[in-house]
Amino acid sequence: MADDRPVHRSGTFQLGGDLPIHRLGYGAMQLTGPGVWGDPADPDEAVRVLRRAVELGVDFIDTADSYGPFVSEQLIRQALHPYPDGLVIATKAGLTRAGPADWRPLARPEYLRQQCELSLRHLGLDRIDLYQLHRIDATVPLADQIGELVTLQQEGKIRHIGLSEVTVDELEQVRQLATVVSVQNRYNLADRAAEPLLEHAEANGIGFIPWFPLATGALATPGGPLDDLAKRHQASPSQLALAWLLHRSPVVLPIPGTSTVAHLEDNLAAAAIDLSAEETAELTDAVR
């Protein structure tokens, strides 16, 4: 397929140094029911979203065993299996669910192994390209949590290890135990608390996956601080917020999520927006 698909304008990143992906991906959390629990209201639309994402050039899809639970992973398999060459599916384990909007860290080694096996089955994979610890479990020795991921890696069940919601110090502790190729923290134009982690990731060639990249639509509010520049680019404020992330650092891998094809197409068009250094600075200063 020609390289004029929208997402191909976002550039590429070598995940782990050996796994090329286009930088603008898709986050599959919103393909579930309310509270990230149960089935979506429109399963057919969820399938259409996934297929359209790949048609538009997405080759990096991020999900987790806890989204549903397992609903998101199963929808990905239903929509896309057998997977096209080059499609990287990242998933996570380390949070368990007791109900809608209920998230509890659980990273005992036997649980991580169980969830990895279930994710392999639900996704229809022999190996997970990027397996992320969804949260560090403070009740379990770090060496036990990471040690199990390394063992799964040695067994060929996962290719690369990533982390989610960590500090620079925690990342460095884990890097004493394993090779970490990505971190995933909350980060967007309006919430830059993870800036030190992003800078550290960039300095070490580690992918930085910002979740909540649009602050659940808050940055797309009409009349907001992005309106003027958005009009200049004939773009939506949400597209501009995503373009800012892509321009912020070459290691940033945004994964905007949505449950509708129309919103997906709007998000992915952000890859075609070229911002000058002055415009990037203007956006940086516009939202504090």
The first and second tokens of residue 107, run together, are 């990273």
Q: Pick the catalytic residue: 67, 83, 111, 131?
A: 67
User: How big is the chain by its Cα radius of gyration, in Å?
Assistant: 18
- CA dist 166 to 120, 133, 169, 171, 209, Å? 25, 10, 8, 6, 12
Reduced to 3 DSSP states, what percent helix, strand and coil does the chain have, rounded to the nearest 5? 45, 20, 40
d(CA 145, CA 66): 17
d(CA 136, CA 249): 26
d(CA 206, CA 209): 10
- 187 classed as catalytic: no
Q: Provide CB contacts within 8 A for 117, sequence distance 6+.
A: 157
Q: Provide CB contacts within 8 A for 270, sequence distance 6+.
A: 24, 235, 238, 239, 240, 241, 242, 243, 246
228-236 long-range CB contacts below 8 Å, 24 or more apart?
229/279, 229/282, 229/283, 229/286, 233/273, 235/269, 235/270, 235/273, 236/266
Report the SS3 class of residue 202.
helix
d(CA 173, CA 109): 18
d(CA 67, CA 281): 35
Element (H, E) at 229: helix 227-232
CA dihedral 112, 117, 118, 120 (to 10 degrees): 120
Residues with a catalytic annotation lie at 67
